[in-house]
Amino acid sequence: MKRLNIICIAAALAASSAQAQQQSLAASLNVQVFPAKGQSAKQQSEDEATCYQWGVTNTGVDPFGVQKQQQATQQQAQQDQEMVAQAGAGAGVGGAVRGGAAGALVGAIAGGDAGKAAVWGAAAGIVRSRHRVREERAEASADISSSAAQSAQLSQEQITSFKNAFSACLQGKNYIAKF
pLDDT recorded at residue 50: 98
Asked if residue 1 has pLDDT above 90, the reply is no
CA separation for the pair 17, 23 (Å, rounded): 12
Helices and strands of the chain, counted as H and E runs: 6, 2
The β-bridge partners of 32 are 178
CA separation for the pair 95, 127 (Å, rounded): 8
Residue 171, CB-side half-sphere exposure with 13 Å CA sphere: 11
Asked if residue 179 has pLDDT above 50, the reply is yes
Q: Give which of 131, 123, 136 is closest to 93, Cα–Cα.
A: 123
Per-residue pLDDT tens over the stretch 36-68:
999 999 999 999 999 999 999 999 999 999 999
Per domain, the residue ranges of the chain are 31-178
pLDDT recorded at residue 91: 58
Average pLDDT over residues 133-147: 86
